[in-house]
Chain A
Amino acid sequence: MTLTPAELTSAVSGGIGTSPQRPDGNLKVRGEFAYSSDLWHEDMIWGATLRSPHPYARITSVDLTEALKVPGVYAVLTHSDVPGRNLYGLEHKDQPVLAVDVVRYQGEPVALVGADHPETALRAMKKIVVTYDVLEPVVDMETAAGDTPLHPGGNLVRHVPIRRGSQDVEADVVVTGRYEVGMQDQAFLGPESGLAVPATDGSVDLYVATQWLHVDRDQIAAALGLPQEQVRLTLSGVGGAFGGREDLSMQVHACLLALYTGKPVKMVYNREESFYGHVHRHPAVLYYEHGADHTGKLVYVRSHMYLDGGAYASSTPAVVANAATLGVGPYEVDNVTIDAYGLYTNNPPCGAMRGFGAVQAGFAYESQMDKLAEALGMSPVDVRIRNAMTEGSVMPTGQVVDSAAPVAQLLKLVQDKPLPAGSLTDIRELPGGVSNTTHGEGVVRGVGYAVGIKNICFSEGYDDYSTARVRVSMVNGSLAAAVHTAACEVGQGLVTIMQQIVRTELGIERVTVLPMDTTIGNGGSTSASRQTYVTGGAVKAACALVRDRLAGRTDIGDEVIDETTEWRHRATEALDPVTGQGNAHVQYGFAAHRAVVDVDVDLGLVRVVSLDCAQDVGKALNPQAVLGQIQGGSAQGLGLAVMEEIQTSGGKVRNPSFTDYLIPTVLDMPPMSIDVLELADPHAPYGIRGVGEPPTISSTPAIVAAIRAATGLALTRVPVRPEHLTGT
């Protein structure tokens, strides 16, 4: 807000701070935008994946004979057909492309079929005979570390300790709690899919929906045993991501089939397969003890928490670090003892989902703050403001928060909003709605608050950068620009932001966004709320190079100005492995929510009446897109609060469908009143602060706090189910 560099003033429309229409909008509303499941190629065949029905088993034999006899089948492949490294993974290479002699989760890929029709592929798949020696699965994250080792190094993926101040200080008021978070699914609507096209020289092109083209490419090339330049990726239309596309799904499989058959191969998961085909949000069990003095000032926070990583590591190490380092929330606490553990089990693999470790901790520490308020006889908002972090506060890691941290202000903003009127007349506005389950009898209202903290960008010393290329030439007598990156547009609107930045920096209105692919350098991951920050920073830096060469000219004749540059945010540090101290994070984002709920206590039905939010975004480069992120992120938090959970039993998924895994509909989402603060971060391009994740963190605990306020129940687990409310 205070940062107004001269370069921000621009003569052209559609620059930063405005909300121009997204460049892919028309194609998307016309049904003409090419998503990864829409692709077609002359002579293409279809791939399908045979998956393990068991959470943990030894493979004793695989017989492909009958499958290969099915007319229309081109190939049936197993691990022995993987020419390169049969292991991949974001942080640990521990996950087989195709299972060798053991399967560690239900849904683990065992074999592939390529056939002329998807139904032919499915029929052939059913003729593959795999015999299993079924083993007892490890399913309890709290005891997994001492259970049957599922990987050579045992079941502890990572332990992150945080030690700050005194470990044995005492307090006037102490509250303790045990909290559970269920396994949430990203439930992006566009299923995992793509098209692999083999070339005559043994290389391959893959058109795919992903969050990180270069890391996909590197993993695919290693599995195929090809040099990286022989694996070319182009981003297709991506139907949402939310973390669920950080890990590989069908990428290597489609390329394997394409190279083996010499034909283009399309793979498209259906919804059930999608539930098995990507990682989920880690379920967690979190133990907390908060101590405060009589004024409500926190004296200490102690916690140990378990995050269930499932069968393979995925991004568990980084998720655990987030849960630990952000484990006390946006509060000043001098004495902190936290131990966060990420475990291997035979549950579905878990990794990235919007909020990434901060969500699980957020539900627990905000529940504790409410408990503390009650023990002190303070209001939930007052106890939070009493401890609220500000700029200059010190994190439990010792890191000083060196830009705006308006935690108290955000809480006051949502507190001061008018409360919704009580409507007990229109049945559509009552829990149960037109199901006609109540006319107001048994319905109680409650109000709850929460605030959360999220790290923005990659942490712990990771070299986090993006590459951008900006090209300027004359088109029909005026300057036109093109911007090229490998940063993935997954729906969030990066394509619009890049156009806006180029317009502002160069004063050129016509900006084309070139397809995102691996012909340019790494764009980094579309995750950690980082793309506007890092790729936006790279585009801005490339524009500066172009601007120098333009030197104020508006006519450059036949000249083409073409500049490519890498841009990285300031460096971070590793955490000390014993004390958890270190400047591990780049930037912190904050959001607060106030939820109002009506609860039918007889039936256990909840209706969220309002869900208001205040968030600091540093600078709203595109105000409409910022609101869209806050609304969408809050909706996913609502889902975790009251309905969304992948339920497992003995490691098996019980609800892999949109019939049984519920996500919020338009009837579940209330209107939101949103305040957006723009307190510029002097370290970030244009002062921006990552937007996408913070609202997902505070939405869930605010709703649960409101349900507690309405019902008086303790409610220590999300999602809150009807039976938790009725006791039946």
Chain B
Amino acid sequence: MRVNVTVNGEQRQADDVWEGESLLFVLRERLGLPGSKNACEQGECGSCTVYLDSVPVCACLVAAGQVQDRDVRTVEGLADGDTLDPVQEAFVEAGAVQCGFCTPGLVVAAHDLLDRVPKPSDPEIREALAGNLCRCTGYEKILDAVRLAASRR
């Protein structure tokens, strides 16, 4: 099938999409956007989190056909040219990035949290990020990064 979708503000088209493919596969393998990550492909780890019509979703759980004529924003669409989004900047500065495989999903999840709750409490941060697994950091520096990004808004 053919899928037409707006990705990071650009109208994109993918051809020969097999009906069983996920949004994640289409982004990574057909549209050249591998930033959303394939850590579990079953909605448990959050590393493929993208915005679908401004709502964060696990791209691995969205069938490719479901995004027809809709709007997707991925981690690649957060920076403004060379200027990082404040959340991205804070992740680098705070040391929240080690292997970085969870980072794209966490950056999108934190971006969404700060849009909804500009000054979140620690329990609010923890709840918002509870669907994103990280195996390297023990999360402490991810919390630091979200606090830092919030303080700069």
A interface residue numbers (CB < 8 A to B): 19, 21-22, 24-26, 28-35, 37-38, 40, 117, 119, 186-191, 237-242, 268, 270-271, 426, 428-429, 434, 490-493, 624-625, 627-628, 631-636, 657-659, 663-667, 669, 671-672
B39 touches A271 (CB 8 A): yes
Residues of A within 8 A of B45 (CB): 189, 658
Within 117-148 of B, Cβ neighbours of A (below 8 Å) are at: 123, 125-127, 129-143
B20 touches A119 (CB 8 A): yes
B140 touches A669 (CB 8 A): yes
A22 touches B44 (CB 8 A): no
A30 touches B35 (CB 8 A): yes
A663 touches B42 (CB 8 A): no
* Given A31-B76, A666-B139, residue A189 in contact with residue B102 (CB < 8 A): yes
Name the residue among B84, B137, B140 with the largest chain A CB count within 10 angstroms: B140
Kindly provide the distance from the CB of A498 to the nearest chain B CB, expressed in whole angstroms: 16
6 A-B pairs, CB-CB below 8 angstroms?
A29-B89, A240-B98, A271-B39, A491-B98, A632-B136, A669-B138
How far, in whole Å, are A169 and B140 apart by their CA atoms in the complex?
48
* Given A38-B34, A191-B38, residue A663 in contact with residue B135 (CB < 8 A): yes
* Given A30-B75, A30-B76, residue A268 in contact with residue B92 (CB < 8 A): no
Question: By DSSP majority rule, is chain B's interface helix, strand, loop, or mixed?
Answer: loop
Kindly provide the distance from the CB of B26 to the nearest chain A CB, expressed in whole angstroms: 13
Q: Identify which of A33, A34, A188 contacts B135 (C-beta below 8 A).
A: A188
Kindly provide the distance from the CB of A427 to the nearest chain B CB, expressed in whole angstroms: 10
A189 touches B135 (CB 8 A): yes
Kindly state whether residue B99 has any CB partner on chain A within 8 Å. Answer: yes
Q: What mask results when residues 73 to 102 of chain B are scored 1 for a CB within 8 Å of chain A, else 0?
A: 011101100001000110111010111111
How far, in whole Å, are A40 and B27 apart by their CA atoms in the complex?
13
Nearest chain-B residue to A634 (Cβ)?
A: B138
A493 touches B84 (CB 8 A): no
How far, in whole Å, are A429 and B28 apart by their CA atoms in the complex?
38
Q: Identify which of B35, B92, B100 contacts A239 (C-beta below 8 A).
A: B100
Q: Identify which of A33, A631, A667 contacts B141 (C-beta below 8 A).
A: A631
B127 touches A22 (CB 8 A): no
Name the residue among A21, A25, A33 with the largest chain B CB count within 10 angstroms: A25
Residues of A within 8 A of B140 (CB): 627, 631, 669, 671-672
B42 touches A658 (CB 8 A): yes
Nearest chain-A residue to B76 (Cβ)?
A: A31
| 10 nearest A-B pairs in the assembled complex, by CB-CB distance | A31-B35, A491-B99, A28-B100, A239-B101, A631-B138, A635-B138, A31-B75, A38-B34, A658-B44, A25-B92
Q: Identify which of A26, A32, A187 contacts B35 (C-beta below 8 A).
A: A32
Residues of B within 8 A of A37 (CB): 34, 37-38
Residues of B within 8 A of A633 (CB): 138
Nearest chain-B residue to A635 (Cβ)?
A: B138
B39 touches A239 (CB 8 A): yes
How far, in whole Å, are A635 and B137 apart by their CA atoms in the complex?
8
For the complex with contacts A30-B75, A30-B76, A271-B40, 4 further pairs of A-B residues with Cβ separation under 8 Å are A29-B89, A628-B95, A667-B126, A667-B127
Kindly provide the distance from the CB of B108 to the nearest chain A CB, expressed in whole angstroms: 9
Kindly provide the distance from the CB of A21 to the nearest chain B CB, expressed in whole angstroms: 5
